Structure 1
Amino acid sequence: MQSCARVNNKKVTSGPLNEGDTSTAPAALTPDELNYYRRMVDNHLDSTLGRTRFNGSVLVAKNGQIVFEEYNGYIDPRTKRDSITSSTPFHLASVSKTFTGMAILRLWEEGKLNIDDPVQKYLPGFPLEGVTIRLLLNHRSGIPKYDHYMGEMGWDKHKMVSNQDVLDFLIANYKKIPIAQPNRGFSYSNTNYALLALIIESVSGVTYPVYMKKTFFDPLGMKDSYVFTLADTARYTPSFYYNNREYRFEFLDAVYGDKNIYSTVRDLLKWDQALQKDTFFKKSTLEQAYAGYSFEKPGTHNYGLGWRMYLLKNGKKLVYHNGWWHGNRTSFYRMTDENATIIALCNNDCRYVYKVKELADIFGDYMQTNNRYDDDDPAQPVARAEKPKRKSHSTARKKTTHRRSTARK
Structure 2
Amino acid sequence: MKPKNKIVLVKNLVRLLLVVLALQSCARVNNKKVTSAPANDDTSSLPAHATPLTPEEISRYKRLVSNHLDSTLNKTRFNGSVLVAKNGQIVYEEYAGFVDPRTKRDSITPTTPFHLASVSKTFTGMATLRLWEEGRLNVEDPVSKYLPGFPLEGVTVRLLLNHRSGIPKYDHYMGEMGWDKHKMISNQDVLDFLIANHQKIPIGTPNRGFSYSNTNYALLALIIEKVSGLSYKDYLKKTFFDPLGMKDTYVFTLADSARYMPSFYYSNREYRFEFLDAVYGDKNIYSTVRDLLKWDQALQTEGFFKKATLDQAYAGYSFEKPGTHNYGLGWRMYLLKNGKKLIYHNGWWHGNRTSFYRMTDENATIIALANNDCRYVYKVKEMADIFGDYMQKHKRYDDDEPTQVAHVQKPVKRRSHATAYKKKSTSRRSTAKK
1:186 and 2:207 are equivalent in the alignment: no
Aligned to 2:32: 6
The equivalent position to 1:385 in structure 2, one of 407, 410, 426, is 407
The equivalent position to 2:356 in structure 1, one of 312, 319, 332, is 332
Offset of residue 371 of structure 1: 2.3
- Work out whether residues 72 and 379 of structure 2, in 8 Å CA contact, stay in contact via their aligned partners in 1: yes
Offset of residue 5 of structure 1: 2.9
Letter in 2 for 1:60: V
Greater Rg over alpha carbons, structure: 2
Q: In structure 2, do the counterparts of structure 1 residues 267 and 349 end up closer, same or farther at CA, with 3 Å as the change threshold?
A: same
The equivalent position to 2:81 in structure 1, one of 31, 39, 57, is 57
> What whole-Å deviation, never above 9, does each CA across 1:53-104 have from its counterpart, x for those lacking one?
0000000000000000000000000111110000000000000000000000
Counterpart secondary structure, 2:31: coil
Aligned to 2:189: 165
Calculate the TM-score normalised by the size of structure 1. 0.91
Aligned to 1:247: 271
The equivalent position to 1:80 in structure 2, one of 104, 117, 121, is 104
Correspondence 1:91-170 to 2 at 5 A? 91-170=115-194
Q: In structure 2, do the counterparts of structure 1 residues 13 and 247 end up closer, same or farther at CA, with 3 Å as the change threshold?
A: farther
Give the Cα–Cα distance (whole angstroms) in 2 for the partners of residues 302 and 149 of structure 1.
25
> What whole-Å deviation, never above 9, does each CA across 1:329-361 have from its counterpart, x for those lacking one?
000000000000000000000000000000000
**Superposition CA RMSD, Å:** 1.8
Q: In structure 2, do the counterparts of structure 1 residues 17 and 248 end up closer, same or farther at CA, with 3 Å as the change threshold?
A: farther
- Work out whether residues 4 and 55 of structure 1, in 8 Å CA contact, stay in contact via their aligned partners in 2: no
Letter in 1 for 2:228: S
> What whole-Å deviation, never above 9, does each CA across 1:232-272 have from its counterpart, x for those lacking one?
01101110000000000000000000000000000000000
Letter in 2 for 1:163: N
Give the Cα–Cα distance (whole angstroms) in 1 for the partners of residues 68 and 312 of structure 2.
33
Offset of residue 26 of structure 1: 1.5
Give the Cα–Cα distance (whole angstroms) in 2 for the partners of residues 192 and 43 of structure 1.
39
- Work out whether residues 14 and 65 of structure 1, in 8 Å CA contact, stay in contact via their aligned partners in 2: no
Note the residue ranges of structure 2 that are not aligned, 5 or more in a row.
1-27, 412-434
Aligned to 1:270: 294
Aligned to 2:19: none
- Between the two proteins, the alignment pairs up a number of residues equal to 384
Letter in 2 for 1:287: D
Q: Which structure has greater helix proportion?
A: 2
Aligned to 2:61: 37
Letter in 2 for 1:240: F
- Work out whether residues 7 and 70 of structure 1, in 8 Å CA contact, stay in contact via their aligned partners in 2: yes
Percent identity over paired residues: 78
Q: In structure 2, do the counterparts of structure 1 residues 330 and 210 end up closer, same or farther at CA, with 3 Å as the change threshold?
A: same
1:313 and 2:337 are equivalent in the alignment: yes
Offset of residue 382 of structure 1: 2.0
- Work out whether residues 376 and 406 of structure 2, in 8 Å CA contact, stay in contact via their aligned partners in 1: no
1:69 and 2:98 are equivalent in the alignment: no
Aligned to 1:400: none
Q: In structure 2, do the counterparts of structure 1 residues 178 and 326 end up closer, same or farther at CA, with 3 Å as the change threshold?
A: same
Calculate the TM-score normalised by the size of structure 2. 0.86
Aligned to 2:7: none
1:361 and 2:370 are equivalent in the alignment: no
Higher relative contact order, structure no. (Cα contacts within 8 Å, ≥ 6 residues apart): 1
